[in-house]
Amino acid sequence: MRFSFSAEQEEFRDTLRRALEARSPIKEVRRLMATDEGFDREGWKRFNQELGLTGIHIPEAYGGQGFGFGELGIVLEEMGRSLLCAPFLSTALASIAILNAGSEEQKKALLPGLADGSKTATLAFQEENGSIDASGIAMTATGNKLDGSKSFVLDGHTADLVVVVARKKGTTGNDGLSFFTAAGNAPGLTRRKLKTMDETRKLAHLTFKGVEGKPLGVEGAGGPAFAKTMQQAIVCLANEMVGGADRLREDALEYVKMRMQFGRSIASFQTTKNKAADMLVDVELAKSAAYYAAAALDEGDEDVPALASLAKAQAAEAYLQTEIHALQMHGGIGFTWDNDTHLWFKRAKSSEILFGDANQHREKMIQAWAQ
Amino acid sequence: MIDTTEPTEESVRKDVRTWLEANWNPNYGLVEWREKLCESGWGAPHWPKEWYGRDMPVKFNAVVDEEFARIGAVGVAKAGIRTLAAATILAHGTDLHKQKFLKRILTGEDTWCQLFSEPGSGSDMAGAVTRADKRGNKWVINGQKVWTTSAHKAHWGLLLARADWDKVKHKGLAYFILDMKQPGVQVHPLKQMNGHASFNQVFFTDAEVEPEMMVCDVGDGWTVATTTLMHERRGADGLRSWATASDKKGRIYEEERAEIATTMEPYKWYPQRAGRVDLVMERARETGRINDPVVRQEIARLLIMSKSAEWTARRARAAQEQGKPQGPEGSLGKLVASHVARQAARVHTYLTGADALLSGEESPMGGVIAEILVSVPASSIAGGTDEIQRNIISERVLKMPRETSVDTNKPFKDVPRNIVAPR
């Protein structure tokens, strides 16, 4: 297993970080989060195409760059750091689902458009019950006709392509699951933007009434692809989260070094220093877990189900704890709208819950290891 | 002919293999064989040529170790405080010290102890008040040290003592090599809360040090002590492996086993101190507590922390091996290890239930579980408390301001300090 990034990977990270600082300063984040779309379609398209971001993990045969989850993790970490408002995670998850569930022909047809950024996409799997497991999926596929609803769909109101998970009537659990694709503007599909606590992360509710889906792979045999996609999704999210947590930590540290009270820098108080040290520990441990899980995916480690949940649980605890400390270190100003801390605070909260919280993933991890 | 080519992994492997094949013989006595290692430089290849080494980059030690293991050859004495003594002497000692001590450290003939901590100065080690006074041309030592591992066996001690009370705290210290086998030195074991006595209290009553056994000038003692401490911390990232004896038959192996048993005796509860995470899943299945979802959450918290800690240490090591500057991940190991130990003790308690009330043979696994529960508090104290670790992280890694100092701006004799009751 690799435990360090190569010189090329480090260089890629530096380039991307600089590009994101220029592209997505906090002023731009605040502007975009207040819009209905949640991102700047033309600007994102250009930026994405310049850096080849949505194709990073897609094999070259399907128009991508052919890198792995290690590189995808770097992109997500940097985006989590900058709070970039763009449908990146959503499009990446859709492409991962297509890679896992699609036939060769379907991959060739669908992936190049996502890789080159000409289309945005999303993965719609969760429903109103909020379950992250196959058992929570109630949407039915009768032939290719999709009926039911999906909720908490990342960028679901703007995605050009929706990858959706549905089941054959009368089946339960992992049985009878199929992946379908549908155009964002397909007849019978109603999309409603949800008002979200974390405004940088747009979610939508999708209602399907007899929508004609295009099946991916073998009908009814999507169970394993769904499980795999979920494991990969949480590793992606964990990597995004550690980027945000590290940024939050750094900003709080910078603030306390500057803030004077009682005639001295508040960074000179041991109570502040202890917090700062603990925050570093939390974030570094979470990074180690997120990086390890990404490397495990790239190396086809059979322990991935446990390692993915481990990374998500650790990232959730670390981001949450960092967010609590960071706000406290800012004091009153940290609770104001104008201070930027709340933007990452809310991202920490939304990430903690998205795709399952720490308790759920600790349970999944231990279930995998207890077998 | 002078060989000017740089050693490579391949050339080192070839050289050490050739030498071992020509010289290794398990019928040697332990000291006899190690003397040959000292002559050849293969016992400590990263040491200087003139002092029993080969001036080789330290990265080749692994290759040399592999070749020793391949042929089953015994190495020099490595475990214990003697390695800290050797590192300190190599860095700061005089030629006399090097001649007198280095070889006997490698052969294992001498054992050492570290006389730094005192009852009145734990975290604040530079606040030592053990006195060193010049009488005639000798130094006379009075005072008390504590937490001294292996002091009852040691031939020599690395001593930090105050020789000038008019200087500020860090500038009045001197560093000596003290003969432990003299009437002025009394060693008493210190019984710990877990029943073991791995450490000692050492009392000095007019103990004497010859002038040439001073390692540095008065005033530089703290600098030298820092070298010793740095080497001590280097072994604390959680990836340290314990000295293990070979189970092969033959005189030299038996002698080595006896040596390791003696050296490692004080450390035998250390695995329990770290929490024995390795036992958790097995115990959870055995006791059936794996079926309790609340307990599962606690186990998961532990395993997540422990795995992440291991991977963080590996990241630090990988960066070091690639010659990258040390990142923050390198400074966290000690603190994280004590979090892991504490959570492990919690989990072992949940797994054990009422049996956790018992001790010794009455307790599960022949007392191992009970020993975990009463040993982990040492993790967050020994070798730098959690609080000191956090200070180190915040000041050195995060560059936060140091605490305002109230004891370094005046002669040390005017600094308020603990009153240690006279014996």
Q: What pLDDT score does B4 carry?
A: 58
Instruction: Please tell me if residue B278 touches chain A, with a CB cutoff of 8 Å.
Output: no
* 3-class DSSP assignment, residue B204: strand
Rounded to whole angstroms, how far apart are CA atoms B265 and A356? 48
Instruction: Please tell me if residue B230 touches chain A, with a CB cutoff of 8 Å.
Output: no
* Complex-level ipTM: 0.95
Closest approach of A79 to chain B, Cα-based (Å)? 21
- Average pLDDT for B250-266: 88
The separation between the first and the last C-alpha atoms of chain A, rounded to the nearest angstrom, is 23
Q: Phi-psi region for residue A63, left (φ > 0), alpha (ψ -120 to 50) or beta?
A: left
Q: Burial of B9 by CB count in 10 Å (0-12 exposed, 13-18 middle, 19+ buried)?
A: exposed
Which H or E run includes B293? helix B293-321
The single-letter code of the amino acid at A11 is E
CA B78 to chain centre: 11
Identity of the residue in B309, B322, B401 whose CB atom sits nearest the CB atom of A285: B309
Q: Which distant-in-sequence residues (6+ apart) come within 8 Å of A107 by Cβ?
A: A61, A62, A98, A99
The pLDDT of residue B417 is 85
Distinct helix (H) and strand (E) counts, chain B = 14, 7
Q: Does A197 touch chain B (CB under 8 A)?
A: no
Lowest-pLDDT range, A3-17, A228-242, B57-71?
B57-71
Give the residue from chain B lying closest to A318, CA to CA: B305
Structure confidence by residue, pLDDT tens digits, B346-364: 999 999 999 999 998 899 9
Task: Give, in words, the CATH class of A224-370.
Answer: mainly alpha
Kindly tell me if the per-residue pLDDT of B216 is higher than 90: yes
Beta strand A161-168 with A145-154 is unpaired
A116 Cβ under 8 Å from any chain B Cβ? no
Q: In this structure, what is the dihedral angle of CA atoms A275, A277, A279, A280, given to the nearest 10 degrees?
A: 170
Lowest mean pLDDT among A169-173, B57-61, B67-71, B349-353: B57-61
Which among A265, A285, A365 has the least Cβ separation from residue B312? A285
Which runs of consecutive H residues, i.e. helices, occur in B24-145?
A: 30-40, 61-71, 82-92, 95-97, 103-107
Nearest-by-CA chain A residue for B288: A370
Interface test with B, best of A249, A362, A365 (most B CBs within 10 A): A362
Pairing outcome for strands B112-115 and B156-162:
parallel
Outline which parts of chain A fall under CATH 2.40.110.10: 121-222
What distance in Å separates the CA atoms of residue A238 and residue A315, rounded to the nearest whole number? 6
Q: What is the mean pLDDT of chain B?
A: 91
Question: In Å, what is the CA distance from A110 to each residue of A72, A117, A121, A258, A322?
Answer: 19, 12, 10, 51, 39
pLDDT in tens, A11-57: 999 999 999 999 999 999 999 999 999 999 999 999 999 999 999 99
CB A214 within 8 Å of CB A263: no
Return the residue of B nearest to A368 by Cα. B300
How far is CA A10 from its chain centroid? 21
Using CB atoms, pick whichever of A268, A273, A366 lies closest to residue B299: A366
Distance CA B279, CA B110 (A): 36
The predicted structure's pLDDT at residue B238: 42
Say how far apart CA B302 and CA A222 lie, in whole Å: 34
Do B157 and B180 contact (CB within 8 A), yes or no?
yes
Element (H, E) at B227: helix B221-234
Phi, psi of B322 (to 5 degrees): -85, 5
Among candidates B281, B296, B328 on the partner chain, residue whose Cβ is nearest the Cβ of A363: B296
Q: How far apart are CA A178 and CA A217, in angstroms?
A: 8
Interface of B with A in 97-116 (CB under 8 A): none
Do B400 and A276 make contact, defined as CB atoms within 8 angstroms? yes
Question: Distance of alpha carbon A188 from its chain centroid, rounded?
Answer: 28
Q: Is B292 on the interface with A (CB under 8 A)?
A: no
CB contact under 8 A, B322 and A4: yes
Interface mutation vs chain A, best among B299, B312, B404, most A CBs within 10 Å = B312
Chain A nearest C-alpha distance from B334 (Å): 11
Second-level CATH architecture of B82-234: Beta Barrel (2.40)
Reported as a single tens digit per residue, the pLDDT across B365-390 is 999 999 999 999 999 998 889 999 99
Question: What's the rounded Cα separation, in Å, for the pair B295 and B288?
Answer: 10
Give the model's pLDDT for residue B81: 87
Q: Rounded mean pLDDT of chain A?
A: 97
Give the Cβ contact number of residue A347 at 10 Å. Answer: 25
Answer yes or no: is pLDDT of A2 > 60: yes
User: With bands split at pLDDT 50, 70 and 90, how would you rate the model's confidence at B1?
Assistant: very low
- Whole-number pLDDT of residue B64: 94
Please tell me whether residue B116 adopts helix, strand or coil conformation.
coil
Note whether A268 contacts B293, CB cutoff 8 Å.
no
pLDDT at residue number A10: 95
> Looking at chain A, which residues constitute the CATH 1.10.540.10 domain(s)?
7-115
Q: How far apart are CA A133 and CA A131, in angstroms?
A: 6
Mean pLDDT of B380-404: 91
pLDDT at B239: 41
Q: In this complex, is the C-beta atom of B281 within 8 Å of any C-beta atom belonging to chain A?
A: yes
Q: For residues B393-410, give the mean pLDDT.
A: 92
Residue numbers in A near B299 (CB within 8 A)? 366
CA distance, residue A289 to nearest chain B CA (Å): 5
Q: What would the mean pLDDT of A321-338 be, rounded to a whole number?
A: 97
pLDDT at B261 over 90: no
- For A:250-279, CB contacts with B below 8 A are 253, 256-257, 264-265, 267-268, 270, 272-274, 276-278
Indicate the residue of A265, A284, A313 with minimum beta-carbon distance to B312.
A284
Asked whether A115 and A95 are in contact (CB, 8 A), the reply is: yes
In this prediction, residues B7-22 reach a mean pLDDT of 94
Mean pLDDT of A141-153: 97
SS3 labels along chain A: CCCCCCHHHHHHHHHHHHHHHHHCCHHHHHHHHCCCCCCCHHHHHHHHHHHCCCCCCCCHHHCCCCCCHHHHHHHHHHHHHHCCCCCHHHHHHHHHHHHHHCCHHHHHHHHHHHHCCCCCEEEECCCCCCCCCHHHCCCEEECCEEEEEEEEEECCCCCCEEEEEEEECCCCCCCCEEEEEEECCCCCEEEEECCCCCCCCCEEEEEEEEEECEEECCCCECHHHHHHHHHHHHHHHHHHHHHHHHHHHHHHHHHHHHCEECCEEHHHCHHHHHHHHHHHHHHHHHHHHHHHHHHHHHCCCCCHHHHHHHHHHHHHHHHHHHHHHHHHHHHHHHHCCCCCHHHHHHHHHHHHHCCCCHHHHHHHHHHHHHC
Q: Where are the domains of chain B?
A: 10-71, 82-234, 266-382
Judge whether A234 and A311 are in contact, CB under 8 Å.
yes
Q: Which two tokens stand for residue A68?
A: 């792995």
pLDDT at B87 over 80: yes
DSSP state of B415: S
Across B233-266, b (16+ Cβ under 10 Å) vs e yields: eeeebbeeeeeeebeeeeebbebbeebbeebbeb
Q: Which of B312, B391, B395 sits opposite A288 (nearest CB)?
A: B312
- To test the contact with chain A by mutation, choose from B282, B400, B402, B403 the residue with the greatest count of A C-beta atoms within 10 A, namely B400
Topology of A7-115 in CATH? Answer: Butyryl-Coa Dehydrogenase, subunit A; domain 1 (1.10.540)
Confidence (pLDDT) at B164: 97
Beta bridge partners of B207: B141
- Residue B398 with chain A: CB contacts under 8 Å: 253, 273, 276-277, 280
Instruction: Give the pLDDT confidence of B170-210 residue by residue, as tens digits.
Output: 999 999 999 999 999 999 999 999 999 989 999 999 999 99
The class of domain A121-222 in CATH terms is: mainly beta
Is B229 at the interface with chain A, CB within 8 A?
Answer: no
A9–chain B Cβ distance below 8 A for any pair: no
B237 pLDDT exceeds 70?
no
**Does B394 contact A at CB distance below 8 Å?**
yes
**Neighboring chain B residues of A313 at a CB cutoff of 8 Å:** 300, 304
| Whole-number pLDDT of residue B242 | 54
Confidence check: pLDDT of B3 > 60:
no
Q: Using a CB-CB distance cutoff of 8 angstroms, which residues of chain B are in contact with residue A272?
A: 400
In chain A, ranges of CATH 1.20.140.10 domains: 224-370
